Amino acid sequence: MRPIGLGRQGIALGPVQSAARIIPGATLGLSLNIAWLAWFIATAALFFLQMSQTLAASIFMAISVAYVMARPGLALQALRGGVTPWIYVTLAVLSVAWSEHSDVSARAAVQIAFTMGAALVMARALPARSTIFIWMSAVLAANAASLLNPQMAWNAGALAMIGIFGSKNQLGLSQAILVMAGAWIFLDRERAWPLRCLALFCAFLGATLMIAARSLDATATLIAALGCALVSFRLNWVPRRWRAIVLFAVVFVVVALLALLLVYANEFGLFGQVLQLSGKDVTLSGRTELWQRAAVMMEQNPILGTGLQAFWVQGNPYAEELWARFAPGRAGYHFHNLWYETGVELGYVGLLAALYTVISTSLEVWRWVIRTPNVASCFFLTYVIFIDMRTFVEVDLFGQYSFNWVLYLVSWAYARRARWPYQRQPQLDC
C-alpha cells in the first residue's frame, strides 16, 4: 500500500515517490513525508524566536542546511528562479562597505541572505497547499505554547496578551496568518472534513487571540485583505480579459471604504475611542514622532543610508534618544514603517530595491490569481495584500529569521512558478 495524502483519504500526508523520504508510523498506520516534517519544524521554530533566539535560529538553520545538502540540485534550481529576491539582498551585502557599523551589517546581511535561500528552497520542495497547512500548524503550535504561558503586558491602561511572541503586535500578526490559513483550508473542498473542521477552529482561535492582543492594525488589514481575496476567489466567473480590471476595482473599493470609515470615525470622535481600545493614542503609540525623526535622519544620508541595521545600535546617540523615550530596553526597536526604516538604513537606493521587491511580488501573485483563482493563489493574495498594507505602519519584511520575510518570498516563488503549469511539481499535497 502506498502512503496517502492529507486530502479526502484522511490524516496521512500525501503520495510520495520514494520510501527513503517517509517515516512509517507502525502503530497509527501513518506515513510522514520527511520534507513536510522538516519544513514544519523549521517554520515553527521561527514563531518561537522571541523565547530563545539562538535555539530557534539554530533549528531553522540546521534543518535548512541539512535539506540543501540532501537535495543540492533542487536547492540550485530554487535559487535560480528569478532576480526579485536578490535585489534587496545584494544591496544589503554591499552596504557593509559604507556601513557605520560594518560588523553589524555584515552579520545581518549573511543572515538575511540565508533566510532568503531557505525560503526559496522550501517553496521548491513543497506544493503550495502543503505550505499553507504547514503555516497553520506552525502558528497553532506557537499558540499552544502561548496558552500554556499566557503572558500579558500593560498597554494604554489595559492588559493585552503577548504570549510567547514578546509583543501584542507580533501576536496579532501571527494570528492573522492563522485566520488566513484556516479560512482558506476550510474553503478547500479537496481536503478531508476533519482537516477542514480543524481549520475552522484555527480561524476562530486566531480571531479570538487577535482580540485578546488588542491588535487594531492586524485586524483592520486582515479584514480588508481577506475581503479582496474572497471576491477574487470567484474570478473564474468573470471572462479572463476582465479579471485584472475586476481585481483592481475590488482592491480600490475596499481601500476607499476603509479610508471613508476612518474619516467618518474621526469626524464623530470614534477614532480616538477605537485607538484607546486597541492600546494606542493619537500618535499611534509614538509612530508619528518616530516617522518625523526618520525623515530627518534620511536627510543626513539620503543616497545610501547608514548601512544595513546600522542605526539601532547601542552607542548611536540618535538611537539612544529614541530608545530612552519609547523602548528603555535599548534593543529590538524600529521606525514602525518599512519605508522609513529602509530609507534610514539604505537610503533612496534601498527604497528603490524594497519598492521593486514589493511591486514585483505583488504583481506575480496578482497574475497567478487572475490566471488561476483557486484556494492556494487566493491564500497568498490575502497574505500579500495584508503585508503590503502593513508596510506603512510596521516593518515585517527584510528581516533575518523573520517568518514574514520567509512567507513573502514563498508567495513570490509559488506565483513565479505558476507561470509554467507543466513544470514538474513536488508530489506531497496536504
Residues 63-73 pLDDT 10s: 999 999 999 99
**Which residues, in sequence order, are CB contacts of 178 under 8 Å at separation 6+?**
136, 139, 140, 143, 202, 203, 205, 206
* pLDDT, tens only, 387-416: 999 999 899 999 999 999 999 999 999 999
Number of domains observed in the structure of the chain: 1
Is position 75 within any domain? yes
Closest listed residue to residue 189, CA positions, set 374, 428, 3? 374
Reading the block at residue 170, the C-alpha cell is: 507580533
What percentage of residues in the chain have a pLDDT greater than 70?
81
What pLDDT does residue 324 have?
Answer: 81
Q: Within a domain: residue 12?
A: no
How far apart CA 357 and CA 413 sit, in angstroms, is: 12
Q: How confident is the model at residue 27 (pLDDT cuts 50, 70, 90)?
A: very low
At 220, is the pLDDT very low, low, confident or very high (cuts 50, 70, 90)? confident
Q: Do 394 and 220 form a contact (C-beta atoms < 8 A)? A: no
Cell of 417: 512558478
Higher-pLDDT residue of 92, 162: 92
Tell me the three cell numbers of residue 10: 484522511
Over residues 60-81, the mean pLDDT reads 94
3-state secondary structure of 171: helix
Is residue 422 one of the residues assigned to a domain? no
9 falls within a domain = no
- In this prediction, residue 422 has a pLDDT band, given cuts at 50, 70 and 90, of very low
Residue 271: per-residue pLDDT: 46
Range of the domain at 401: 19-417
Cell digits for 407?
512567507
| More confident call, 239 vs 110 | 110
List 161's β-bridge partners, or say none.
152
In a domain, 427, yes or no: no
Please report which helix (H) or strand (E) contains residue 217, including its range.
helix 216-232
In a domain, residue 327? The reply is yes
Tell me what pLDDT residue 236 has: 81
Residue 56 pLDDT > 60 = yes
Q: Which residues pair with 23 in a beta bridge?
A: 32
- Taking only the tens place, the pLDDT of each residue in 173-205 is 999 999 999 999 999 999 999 999 999 999 999
What is the per-residue pLDDT for 87?
96
Bridge pairing between strands 152-155 and 158-161: antiparallel
Q: What is the average per-residue pLDDT within 336-346?
A: 94
Classify residue 294: in a domain, yes or no: yes
- 11 within some domain: no
